[in-house]
Amino acid sequence: MSTAKKDETFTARIAPADLELIRRAAAVSGKSLSNFVMESALYSAQKSLMDQRFLHLDAALFDAVSETLSRPATAHPALVDLFAEENVWATSSD
């Protein structure tokens, strides 16, 4: 988190059950409610902004990437074997 002077405030309305859930999560994390909420909000904000970024490529690099992505997929034997294995952790209980 930022070490800049904190002189802004933020308030929000929240259902009592949601607040209790957040309080419990903050407690088990060993953080104050404010620190937990701010850390979670900042992480979410950064993730949202990073998900919206785009890459600027010059024409030559764009063409190279486009050509690479246009090639037919190739199977890698080790991955084929790995995905053929039955994994308990990868199954759903539904």
Please report the pLDDT score of residue 91 as a whole number: 64
Please report the pLDDT score of residue 2 as a whole number: 59
Please report the pLDDT score of residue 52 as a whole number: 76
Domain boundaries, the chain: 16-86
Integer Rg of the chain from CA: 23
What is the separation, in whole angstroms, between the first and last Cα of the chain?
40
Please report the pLDDT score of residue 49 as a whole number: 87
Please report the pLDDT score of residue 55 as a whole number: 72
Please report the pLDDT score of residue 94 as a whole number: 56
Task: Name 29's Cβ contacts closer than 8 Å, sequence gap at least 6.
Answer: 36
Tell me the pLDDT of the chain (94 aa) as tens digits.
557 888 899 899 999 999 999 999 999 999 999 999 999 999 999 988 887 777 778 999 999 999 999 999 999 999 999 989 887 776 666 5
The Cα 72–Cα 92 span in angstroms is: 31
